[in-house]
Structure 1
């Protein structure tokens, strides 16, 4: 029996009609590399062949009687690929605007919880604005209860290959399908688990108290990560609706690495600096730039240090200020690098399983009711802003990958947005490119492209600033 971890289940409890907890990806495919001419039927058949024995694609959730424990995964005995892989065509002229409008609509639709929590929309007729050849786009959705950033990237290995005619990278891995338990077993395990909660609570309280003490000491020394509830309010920090806006952008990974090497920073430092500059430019254009820096939550994978074997989500998070109060991109990079070093040291002092341990106490009914009450009373607009947005940097494949034989020309990740933080920026590398996915609540950010277009411009500003600084240093 595969019980959802508390953190996995929390993404189910957090979900409301407006706050959807699935992650998405926009995959732009070049069908010219396929060994046979593209057809939707063949593509659908190939996807079915590759996922039918992969538990992450064929399992569904089953609730525990009386909601006494987190749900369990069971195999969907009626799995039907036609309920998961769908076909659409873009309206004329089939350019970027038509694509992001359609993807924004699809991102705003909830997943059906009676089936495995994923779906793909194969979109035909896409003609990139700067190219003549037609592309096929796959818009993929998977619930956050099933994947985090790293495990989602790993799932791609079951669908992609290193050559157009090769078998998927994930073939040959041992797979275990979840067992379907009876009601009595579910109820019995739930009762035992509930009885053990006081003991579990005692185990997590002590290290948490020690963490608070150490955090206070770090704050006095000026080496603590940025504190939540210290963010300035912006137009995307309020109660969200179910409507979404998506925008996509591209940058050169080589240029980012050159900046990293020249400044002695990290790729993540550079990416966050560019994001800070893009947000500064966007808010300044609207006359909304706050005097203090925006605060971002940055998810961090703890797969290498977690003691837990189960659970799809193995993440923690750190808070970092993005330097939106600084106009000079080089100065912003220096400040961000220093803050990130402190934040990483602070984060490393926290147990890798702290978030997962506390998530075990998320009660299904109580948690869901609290989220709905929070949204209905619009409390996100009445207390200090916890954080302004979420920014994720997911490492992607260093070489080209082929999806059912079609080369993945671009892969844009998209995360969820929350009440109080209606903007998510996710960045992923792919064969020498860096693809940026921006998703926002439509009412909070009606024109997401107004933000996305600043990413390549800010990369160029930073590159020129670094180059100028290097020449000045050489003189």
Structure 2
């Protein structure tokens, strides 16, 4: 039995407190070749299950929030419940695939079972098939979810040998034992906090620096809670979702940053900025300064923590310069905004608060998450997450993985979200929208148009350099 971290538990709380909201993350993996037979694919997953213990565990919340939710073995685990199979209607292109994704991600995962599903999708053009993986956010973040591909899939066309499976489920813990364990944990909290305080006092310089950097970061975050300019990008959510996608290549992004400056993340965030500008203009709205603030998750895994299934993220709250018409100016403004946020230590502040939450009594933390889910937020308009995926080709039963298209859940008043994932030389943008956002394809097209404009700007810059 394992306990969730407070951050993991928060994603369960959000789902509980927001009717109709599903907090599952997902992605679409597209493969070459004919789809495998149902039993063939089931055998593949069976051979990988020993490497992913969470896939055979259920989540359980404790009465009265005396402790964080726990993971425990599903004594009646049935792989068949988690493996689904479907087919796209003709012609089986992006539009049909996006419609299927929206339907699958509209439904919540069943809490009476381990919190994941795999959908094998046939009917794609060019003799291709897809695998939609759907996993609850309390289990993984975007990085950990992507790392699962390296566990389930092979790094060569020749399938690797399966892992010996001697799994025997442990009996489910009784409510009495869970409460007793939680109470023991609570009684030990003061002693643990005293030890931590003693260690901190013995390192006064480090303590002073942390207090200063966290204080500066919290001050910056306090500025970010101011309401964003009112627009159609925020509002109430239904239980249903739409999905759209856009594409580019790693080579194109690198060419842009080489000529125009910035990081990979700066370039793709500038493209998303152009997409939101296009969406607002298409709706007859004037994109003004400070009208789009986005939550940008940041991976904070330390070296050696790759492959750990949980949430290890901090965040930045960035203003997207949708008011700027010139795409090169937008990229420069995005770059300046992210550099400013990094210098203000927002990431460090959120990370330290998350770590401190692990050491506080859970009964004090859970109500705060619940209250936050009920209070309407008006400062953040969207979420944009960028996850670097595998850089080497992967295979499923000898079939090559062609691309991975990510999905990010939305909640609160955020009616759209964008997830970006790179795999080998492909970069995919997955756009999530509430079902009432019937025009999210405009956002997807705007992202691709913005990338084309940035690429043209990069070529002009290269020509000027050669002439000079």
**3-state SS of 2:448 partner:** helix
Match of 1:155 among 148, 158, 163: 148
1:193 aligns with 2:185: yes
List per-residue Cα deviations over 1:130-178 (Å, max 9, x = no partner). xxx232121211000100111111111221111122328x969xx9988
List per-residue Cα deviations over 1:332-367 (Å, max 9, x = no partner). 111211221121222354363422433766658746
**Structure 1 stretch 317-326 or stretch 364-373: which is displaced more?**
364-373
Equivalent positions of 1:45-444 (< 5 A) are: 45-52=43-50, 54-127=52-125, 133-167=126-160, 180-195=172-187, 213-215=215-217, 227-293=224-290, 294-304=292-302, 312-345=310-343, 346-347=345-346, 349-350=348-349, 352-358=351-357, 363=363, 366=367, 370=371, 373-374=374-375, 379-380=376-377, 385-443=378-436
Matches of 1:238 and 1:352, distance apart in 2: 29
Matches of 2:308 and 2:247, distance apart in 1: 35
> Which residue of the partner structure matches residue 12 of structure 2?
12
> Which residue of the partner structure matches residue 201 of structure 2?
none
Go from structure 1 to structure 2 and tell me whether the alpha carbon gap of 1:58 and 1:122 turns closer, same or farther (over 3 Å shift). Answer: same
**Structure 1 stretch 445-454 or stretch 273-282: which is displaced more?**
445-454
> Which residue of the partner structure matches residue 445 of structure 2?
453
List per-residue Cα deviations over 1:267-319 (Å, max 9, x = no partner). 01111111101111111111123311411110011111899x98711111011
Unaligned segments of structure 2, at least 5 residues: 198-206
Given that 1:5 and 1:311 are in contact with CA atoms closer than 8 Å, whether structure 2 keeps it comes out as: no
Deviation of the 1:54 alpha carbon? 2.2
Matches of 1:225 and 1:407, distance apart in 2: 47
**3-state SS of 1:453 partner:** helix
**3-state SS of 2:104 partner:** helix
Go from structure 1 to structure 2 and tell me whether the alpha carbon gap of 1:468 and 1:139 turns closer, same or farther (over 3 Å shift). Answer: same
Go from structure 1 to structure 2 and tell me whether the alpha carbon gap of 1:41 and 1:347 turns closer, same or farther (over 3 Å shift). Answer: same
1:30 aligns with 2:32: yes
Deviation of the 1:249 alpha carbon? 1.4
What TM-score do you get using the length of structure 1 for normalisation?
A: 0.85
Aligned-residue Cα RMSD (Å) equals: 3.4
Deviation of the 1:459 alpha carbon? 0.8
Deviation of the 1:66 alpha carbon? 3.9
**Structure 1 stretch 271-280 or stretch 344-353: which is displaced more?**
344-353
**3-state SS of 2:110 partner:** coil
Given that 2:275 and 2:446 are in contact with CA atoms closer than 8 Å, whether structure 1 keeps it comes out as: yes
Go from structure 1 to structure 2 and tell me whether the alpha carbon gap of 1:134 and 1:241 turns closer, same or farther (over 3 Å shift). Answer: same
> Which residue of the partner structure matches residue 2 of structure 2?
2
Given that 2:243 and 2:433 are in contact with CA atoms closer than 8 Å, whether structure 1 keeps it comes out as: yes
Matches of 1:339 and 1:178, distance apart in 2: 50
Deviation of the 1:433 alpha carbon? 0.8
What TM-score do you get using the length of structure 2 for normalisation?
A: 0.86
Given that 1:273 and 1:333 are in contact with CA atoms closer than 8 Å, whether structure 2 keeps it comes out as: yes
Go from structure 1 to structure 2 and tell me whether the alpha carbon gap of 1:257 and 1:362 turns closer, same or farther (over 3 Å shift). Answer: farther
Deviation of the 1:254 alpha carbon? 0.2
**Structure 1 stretch 232-241 or stretch 245-254: which is displaced more?**
232-241
Matches of 2:133 and 2:419, distance apart in 1: 15
Matches of 2:123 and 2:263, distance apart in 1: 39
Matches of 1:53 and 1:306, distance apart in 2: 17
Go from structure 1 to structure 2 and tell me whether the alpha carbon gap of 1:362 and 1:279 turns closer, same or farther (over 3 Å shift). Answer: farther
Matches of 1:288 and 1:333, distance apart in 2: 22
Matches of 2:169 and 2:405, distance apart in 1: 30
Unaligned segments of structure 1, at least 5 residues: 128-132
List per-residue Cα deviations over 1:383-419 (Å, max 9, x = no partner). xx22111101100111211123221112111111011
Matches of 2:170 and 2:428, distance apart in 1: 35
Deviation of the 1:45 alpha carbon? 2.3
Given that 1:90 and 1:126 are in contact with CA atoms closer than 8 Å, whether structure 2 keeps it comes out as: yes
> Which residue of the partner structure matches residue 458 of structure 2?
466
**Structure 1 stretch 248-257 or stretch 460-469: which is displaced more?**
460-469
